[in-house]
A and B are shown apart, each in its own frame.
Chain A
Amino acid sequence: MQDETILDLFWQRNEEAIPAVKTKYGAYCAAIARRILPDPRDAEECVSDTWLRAWNAIPPHRPPRLALFLGKITRETALNRWKANNAQKRGGGEVPLALEELGDTFSTGEDPVGREVELAQLGQAISAFLRTQPPQTASLFLRRYYHLEPIRDLAKAFGLTESSVKTTLHRTRKKLKTYLEKEGFL
């Protein structure tokens, strides 16, 4: 089923929208959730929450790219679940590894600014920075820290050694830090 048709179902408040979106994007969202949440039950619940949040958001929203929209909801829901689990010492998966890598470059001090608006601005700044990078560097960065793909999978996908992937990511994090300092975020 085409995305436009699925969105029409959401807008008509037709409950067929949920099985339609599950069929088309269930595997995609489940893969995102599983990279963040090692417990399959947590991942499954997170994907179910995604359909509910999508149902509540559409309308009034009509996302131009449904897959990305659902992927972002899944990622955000899964990260929140991971943080809650981590507080109860039930964390795991790729998130602690990604946080450790980012922590090597960025200090772990308090954020100097308020959250929601600044997160959007920070996201825009990261976008601008990535557009100045070579395509494979930008792609590696996003697939590691947005999609939270394991380094060994990235090495395989890009035809590189794991060491080379780590080196590229390390250099990119340092360049991002310099860029964010220049832009006044750090």
Chain B
Amino acid sequence: MKPDTLLDALNYVDDDLLAWAEEPGTKKIRRFPKRLAALAACLTLLLGATAFATGALDPLLAYFDDPSGLYLEGFLAAGDSVANDTLEIRLEGAIADSRTAYLVVSFIGLDEATAWDLRRGGLDVRPELVYTVVTPEGEELPFSTSTMGTYTTGKSQAISHFEDADLTYVFAGTLPENCSMEDMDQVCLTYEGLSLSLPVGDYLCPEYALDPEGEGLPAVSHLRMSAIGFSYTTTDEELYLDLLPIFTDGTVYESFREDYGTSAGGDSHSVTGHWCAGSPLALAVLDLNDYCGLQVNGVNYYFVED
């Protein structure tokens, strides 16, 4: 194969991978001695993946890394589904914080042709999918940013980690600035007349506001940390934050890797992000009982009750 064929083929790499590779958070690699901790984390992931491959773990753990097990039973399990003659859409799991809602949704072909199209990528459901949030007054709002991704294998075959599903997507929707998921009623996913609704309040994970110890960073305000991510407002759009969770014993989670996306609004700049568990599609879910704050560019911020 000619090398320039490979260069050309890279233009067809999945968008979510390209976007993820561009994220500043994925670039932050720390050098020894932190490598030992990173190695331990990789081994943990590898063991988890091996256990998953042998069927020992819930398939949801391919999408959510929940080592504490706290969230798998409570927040993540969903199970609602809708169907027409050819297609079933099933909600596998969901979790949200005040800014962002994550849904794991499977598509199941109810006839051979639909199943084949889903698995081979011929039926691209993405352009027709609508992912929205509904206020208690019944107003349907678009998310300010919305992304989705799926695992694929060679020759355009999609992978679902759920045995009976043909295709599984992870959906992430972030609210517009100054809105909170706590004030919302439902998140909705609609595809060609099929609509799944989820009472988002049932899936909100723990979250804290954070205050700095002493003088905080001047360009950062409204810092919040949840089990699945973080948010803050900054007046400096170019600001890069190095975020490290602080354990309750005061030590810092040195090997932690972060990943985030941004959305701008007005004079300020609202930034939201999620904890990344080794791939763009796997969300790390932290047990906040183990943490008391975040170290941000070397400045300690601690949880405060809202």
Contacts and interface: CB of A to CB of B under 8 A. Distances in A.
A120 B152 CA distance: 13
Contacts of A64: 15, 126-127, 147
Contact of B4 (A68, A76, A83): A83
Interface string A96-115: 00111011001111111000
Contacts of B26: 135-136, 139
A138 interface: yes
B279 A135 contact: yes
B239 interface: no
A76 B11 contact: yes
A72 B126 contact: no
Determine which residue in A111, A125, A138 has the highest number of CB atoms from chain B within 10 A of its CB, and name it: A125
Given A98-B7, A119-B5, A124-B152, A68 B19 contact: yes
Interface in A65-101: 65, 67-68, 71-72, 75-76, 79, 83, 95, 98-100
B151 A106 contact: no
Nearest to B265: A2
Contacts of B31: 159-160
Interface string B137-156: 00000100001000111111
A143 B26 CA distance: 11
Interface in A112-152: 112, 119-131, 134-136, 138-139, 142-143, 145-147
Contact of B21 (A108, A142, A183, A186): A142
B10 A126 contact: yes
A62 interface: yes
A40 to B, nearest CB: 22
B84 to A, nearest CB: 24
Contacts of B152: 124, 127-128, 131
Interface string B34-77: 00000000100000000000000000000000000000000000
Given A108-B3, A111-B5, A139-B21, A123 B151 contact: no
Interface string B152-174: 11111100000000000000000
A131 B1 CA distance: 22
A5 B151 CA distance: 30
Interface string A148-176: 00000000011110000000000000000
A107 B1 contact: yes
Interface centre among B3, B142, B278 (most CB of A within 10 A): B3
Interface string B10-36: 111111011111100011111100000
A138 B14 CA distance: 12
A130 B27 contact: no
Interface in A1-45: 4
A123 B12 contact: yes
Nearest to B281: A131
Contacts of A79: 4, 7-8
B182 to A, nearest CB: 24
B42, B156, B278: which has the most chain A beta carbons within 10 Å?
B156
22 contacts: A64-B127, A75-B11, A76-B8, A102-B7, A119-B11, A121-B154, A121-B156, A123-B9, A123-B11, A124-B153, A127-B14, A128-B151, A131-B152, A135-B26, A135-B257, A135-B278, A136-B29, A138-B21, A142-B10, A159-B30, A160-B29, A185-B1
